Structure 1
Amino acid sequence: MRISRLALLLTGCALTALASPAWAQDPPAVGLRAPVEAAPVPEAPAIIVEAAPEAAPAAESPAPPIPAIWAPVPIDAAGQSAYGLYLAGRLASIRGDRAAGSELLREAHALAPEQPVLGEEAFRSGLFSGDLGSVARLTPTVADTPQLAEVGRLIEVVETLRVGNARQSLALLTAGPFEIFAPAARYLTPTIAAAADDWETALKVVDAPPADPAGLILHQQRASLLESRGRVADADAEYRILMAAPAGAMLYALDYAEFLERQGRRDEALAVYDAALTGGNPESRAASGRARVLARGRPPAAPGTPRRASDALVFAALQTTAGENHEVSAIYLRLADSLHPDDLTVLQLAQSLSNNQPLLAQAAFSRVGRADPITYARAQVGLAMSLSAQGDDEAALEAFRRADAAAPNQAAFAFTLATHLDGMNRQGEALEILNRPTLNVSGQPPQFRFLRGAVLEKLGRIDEAEAELWAALQAQPNDPTILNYLGYLWVDSGRRVSEGAEMLARAHAARPEDGNIQDSLGWAQFRQGQYDIAVQTLEEAVGKQPGNAEIVDHLGDAYWQVGRRREAEWQWNRVLTLEPDAERRTGVEQKLLRGLPEPTPLSSGGQP
């Protein structure tokens, strides 16, 4: 994968320092904005831009030379040296606490501003942690690094707009070309130009070709600006261009519905809201809009400059996220949030940070408020997945429970909670959730039946498990995961060995890179007495997942059966180093003492 030059620069400090988780579905799509009525989220840190210090008068003594060794001076009031703060900041960043790292590096730079390395390190760390105020103040220190200087200029463009100085913002925007941030600069131009009274630039006709995604945000910006000028018919024409494109309708249908409300076209707005509420992922904003229209409530206000600029930055973030440039996406989203605080923007920021900055991601997920239950629940699921990835399953469980409680009628959140409980070996609680009357219904997705079957199998309720897994397979007959689970159950229990083996062969053919499925196939061959071919299959499975205790154990059994006893014992001993569960550990220890009893090959079984 190609990595941008900016990404390399942003990660430079860490590299240098190292040298010295609707129905079960993919994560729900995130819209551009939360409902207009949503309560404000905690305010983002203000972005303060300060001028660079003026040059000292010629009569004053020159600045002291940069010391070769930073300790013992300079030292702060608490007796901490600049170099010590610098090292502590670097260590905190390496450990993942980028917020603390940024603060320590900022303090170090304040003590030793003559150290050029400190300015650049503090600048980078501020970008990582979202300390945009420090980034703005430190922009002069990175003037010799064009990519970082460009970041600082973009932040200054947004900050001057935020504080109401649109003319200065436009001057900064047009002072020179942007390279890395060219898309964001392009999308911000209409709104900033309008705020600066340059309507010729602001209302320039969109010339992006149909295949250019930039046309979506530019048409949306032009529609909003035309409405603000009272050119309603022209604004409507721009919205219709957006509605004719699937991506435009997906992103901006609710903007159009709110525009229709403001024009008194309630029936048309209601039709748009109804369409947005169909499918598996309805939006809360659409639901509130529909209710407002039916109650003949006051339409939402037209977007102003901060929200339009925020929308432009959010769109730029969506593009960079699609390109997996999460560092740049996080910068855009922090700037968007500083202009127009919004729960959905914070949620998108948290999702972007979760790729490589888990502590900052968790802080962002926790910032999402409860005004919109669906958005809050999504944030809690994201927080839970991040905590689980760090091994804190109990804290993750509490977050999953909060998501489920916030949106009790949304099956997807109940499914994620049940899945996590199953992973914690709390199958009884998982089954209780999966058997809720709202979930265990006719026509439920096969994922629900599959998970219920897996839970029942672990509880030893094999007949019920088999029925659920069979029902899931009928709904998705070619799903490798379901084929593998039910096929292995049939083979290992001896219920329907030959049919189970055939299902495992199909699963392996569909997903040959999966070591777990290949292990199941090898175990089916073993259970049918095909020991030589089982050895080959299981050796390949171990090669794909060498740290899997169950696969290594199976390979040891196969070696034993073909007379390779020393190799079998070596594999069994290795199982004991792979943290097996108590039952497997006991079984392996018995095999090391007494060998493997002669198994009885199976070839048939009963019916489900």
Structure 2
Amino acid sequence: MTRIKLLLALLSASALTACAATTTPTPKAEGPALRGPAQADSGWYGSRSAYGQFLAGQAALQNGSNTQAAGYFNEARELDDDPGVLGDRAFTAALLAGDVQHAAAVAPRGADANEAVRRLGALTRVVDLLADGKGREAQAVLKTESIGFPHRPAAVLLAPWLAAAVGDKDGAVVRPELQGDRFVQYFGQLGQARLFERAKRYDEAETDYKALMAVENARDLFVPDYGAFLERRKRQAEAVALYDAALARDPDDEGLAKARARAAAGRAPPAMPTLRQGAAHALVACAATFASERQSQFSLAYLRLALRLDPKRDDAWLLVGDLLAQDDDDAGARDAYAKVLPGSTRYAAAQSKLAWSYQTGGDKPKALALAQQTAAAAPKDRDAQVGYADILRANERWAESAAVLDPLIAAQGDKPDWRLLYMRGVALERANRWSDAERDLLTALKLNPDEPDLLNYLGYSWIDRGERLPEAIAMVQKAVDARPTSGAMLDSLGWGYYRQGDYKTAVAKLEQAVELEPGDPDVNGHLGDAYWRVGRQIEARFQWRRVLSLEPDEKQKAAAEAKLKNGLDGPPAKVATTG
């Protein structure tokens, strides 16, 4: 047995199979920095070998560097005396990196292949063939391959689009079904409606759309599709009424607002989806389902397949960027966000995400410049302005952040968005404009009285200022009841009891908060203060020393050092308690 075969025997299923079995993110590989394929086996392994390339590819895959992993696995396949053994990894890496054509070429088909990967490989070949205009070949693969769990829904949803691609008019309008699967039921009916429209069977298409509108918990997913259908039928008034009803349920949906404006102005409606676009839509829906189940690698794989069919699908590029960013693949995420071009309704969102990528990556000047450019280029685009305000806030430019939000809130008149008021309230509070901040936060809370973040922020602000303590503690308790595992909110509650002089209760709440937020300097500092007040001075000093180990800011550091030197003003409690 070769060294690669031995290692593969010890490993569990492939990366994609492992993802299906757990919701825990793949741990990052530690060790030396990854090198290029030509140098991957120098050092530890001597001359370049398949085994070294395999290990380098495995490390790259664990680190989210899918493009790099694909290169390593390709090298390993070419160097190994039995390249078939590397098929699973080479296929997985190529697909996740977005090289669907290569993934289809190396997709494992033999009996030795991992079953879950083989099924995804068959689905990949189907999509690649459809993208190349080879509908009959794609249909043949779908009919002969057993594409089972977890890829069966995608295969079922794609079948009518393949039928349409080969001119099978009857097969194209057969509604996909999978027993007990509501996802297939709903998106199958959407696909049938679209294919009925392509066949100019408009009454039957509308029957499907109306059936989807009757599904209360899912109808808003399909409002844009039905509205576009109505617009294409020159029934703009009905489309506007449909959009208005949906906006009444979700007033903040920018996409619906833009669709309504388009219909009301009588502008050209969205074109009817092509066959590839319709098939891509089904795959994006599957990807979203996997994402909701925290199966990020499956989600990424399906998005790559969708983009093979519809490379200009902007929502898919945004999701790809988000998934790669979660895996710390900053370069890949930025490349995905950059695929959304000016003129797209999602351009501002993509640029905002791109700016945040630089912000979290430490390049704050680049982040600010990008956000500012986007806001300047689209002064009436809410997403662009909010994105800029958010980046300013992250860089502690509080007054500027509030100023960017001012015209947005003013334009909303007597119906402001509570989220914008909350954002501005935070910025104003940090800019030491408390009376203005309090006004915004109170107004936001009237609009959304049960929002935990608002309750906590305003409540903590009062607590920290020593104002309205009973009311503030009650507000924070309500926030904690809504989110009992929030360490930040438990910290607010504990600090409220501390400021009220109930140190024993404060210790109990703050100990819970530290268990949930062990790395937060403020929470540890608060617990140290509470320990001191109940006479547990050794433990108090331990907590204050811990603050210094948690990368505190200058204010937190100075406070901890002063308390370690002098303790707290005033005598601590005489009798120690255990909290």
* TM-score for both structures, normalised by structure 1: 0.77
Letter in 2 for 1:183: P
Alignment of 1:377-526 (within 5 A): 377-390=348-361, 392-401=363-372, 403-405=374-376, 407-436=378-407, 438-439=409-410, 442-526=414-498
Find the counterpart in structure 1 of residue 151 from structure 2: 181
* Closer/same/farther in 2, CA of residues 206 and 484 from structure 1, 3 Å limit: closer
Aligned AA for 2:164?
A
Aligned residue for 1:312?
282
CA distance in 1, matches of 2:467, 2:355: 38
Q: 1:113 to 1:534 in 2, by over 3 A?
A: same
Aligned to 2:310: 340
What is the SS of the residue equivalent to 2:107?
helix
1:235-281, Cα deviation, whole Å (9 max, x unpaired)? 34333333443466534444444444555555545655666676321
- The equivalent position to 1:237 in structure 2, one of 207, 214, 221, is 207
Taking the aligned partners of 1:496 and 1:239, their CA distance within structure 2 comes to 53
Asked whether the 8 Å contact 1:184–1:316 carries over to 2, the reply is: yes
CA contact (8 A) 2:156 2:176 kept: no
- Is structure 2 residue 172 aligned with structure 1 residue 202? yes
Deviations 1:84-128 (A, max 9, x none): 444443343344322122123223323336244433322221122
Q: Which has the larger radius of gyration?
A: 1
Deviation digits for residues 461-489 of structure 1 (CA, Å, limit 9, x no counterpart): 33333333333333344444333333333
Q: Is the 8 A contact 2:535 2:572 kept in 1?
A: no
Shift of 1:389: 4.8
- Matched-pair contact (CA < 8 Å) for 2:126–2:141: yes
Unaligned 5+ runs, structure 2: 1-11, 32-40, 574-579
Displacement of 1:307 in angstroms is 2.2
| Compared CA separation, residues 385 and 110, structure 1 to 2 (3 A) | same
Deviations 1:550-591 (A, max 9, x none): 222222223333333322222222222122221232232222
**d(CA) in 2 for partners of 1:19, 1:437:** 46
State the secondary structure of the residue aligned to 1:455: helix
Q: Structure 2 residue aligned with 1:575, among 547, 552, 565? A: 547
Q: Residue 150 of structure 1 aligns to which amino acid in structure 2?
A: R
After the TM superposition, which residues 549-560 of structure 1 pair with which residues of structure 2 at under 5 Å, given as runs?
549-560=521-532
More helix per residue: 1 or 2?
2
Q: Deviations over 1:308-347 (max 9, x none)?
A: 2223322333333333333222222222221222223322
When residues 82 and 388 of structure 1 are mapped into structure 2, their CA distance, relative to the original with a 3 A threshold, is same
Partner of 1:8: 17
CA contact (8 A) 1:106 1:134 kept: no
Instruction: Name the structure 2 match of 1:323.
Output: 293
The answer (yes or no) to whether the contact 2:158–2:282 under 8 Å persists in 1 is: yes
Q: Between Structure 1 and Structure 2, how many residues are aligned?
A: 541
User: Would the aligned equivalents of 2:460 and 2:492 in 1 still touch at CA under 8 Å?
Assistant: yes
- Look up the equivalent residue of 1:234 and give its one-letter code: E
Q: Counterpart in 1 of 2:561?
A: 589
Give the CA deviation at 1:143.
4.7
| Contact persistence 1:119–1:142 (CA under 8 A) | no
Which structure 1 residue ranges, 5 or more long, are not aligned? 21-69, 602-608
Against the structure 1 CA distance between its residues 508 and 238, is the aligned structure 2 distance closer, same or farther, given a 3 Å change threshold? closer
What amino acid sits opposite 2:351 in the alignment?
Q
Structure with higher RCO (Cα < 8 A, 6+ apart): 1
Q: Which amino acid aligns with 1:588?
A: A
Query: How has the CA–CA distance of structure 1 residues 404 and 305 changed in structure 2, closer, same or farther, with 3 Å as cutoff?
Result: same
Give 1:190-339 correspondences, 5 Å limit: 190-204=160-174, 212-246=182-216, 249-263=219-233, 265=235, 267-269=237-239, 271-272=241-242, 279-283=251-255, 286=259, 289-290=262-263, 294=266, 302-339=272-309
- The CA deviation string for residues 17-55 of structure 1, in whole angstroms up to 9 with x for no partner, is 9599xxxxxxxxxxxxxxxxxxxxxxxxxxxxxxxxxxx
Q: 1:276 to 1:376 in 2, by over 3 A?
A: farther
- Give the drift of 1:172: 0.9
Q: Give the aligned CA root-mean-square deviation in angstroms.
A: 3.8
For residue 9 of structure 1, report the CA deviation from its aligned partner.
4.5
Answer yes or no: is the 8 Å Cα contact 1:277–1:283 preserved in 2.
no
Contact 2:119/2:146, CA 8 A, preserved across alignment: no
Partners of 1:286 and 1:522 in 2: how far apart? 47
Deviation at 1:521, TM superposition (A): 3.0
Equivalents in 2 of 1:186, 1:362: separation in Å? 33
In terms of mean alpha carbon deviation, does 401-410 or 313-322 score higher?
Answer: 401-410
Give the 3 Å change call, closer, same or farther, for CA 502–178 of structure 1 in structure 2: closer
Match of 2:538 in 1: 566
Counterpart in 2 of 1:120? Answer: 88
| Contact 2:284/2:303, CA 8 A, preserved across alignment | yes
In structure 2, what is the Cα distance between the partners aligned to 1:402 and 1:210? 49
Provide the C-alpha distance between the structure 2 equivalents of 1:397 and 1:109, rounded to a whole number of angstroms.
44
Corresponding residue SS for 2:493: helix
Q: Which residue of 2 aligns with 1:135?
A: 103
| Paired residue secondary structure (1:521) | helix
What TM-score, normalized to structure 2? Answer: 0.80
Q: Is the 8 A contact 1:274 1:290 kept in 2?
A: no
Shift in CA distance, 506/388, structure 1 to aligned 2, threshold 3 Å: same
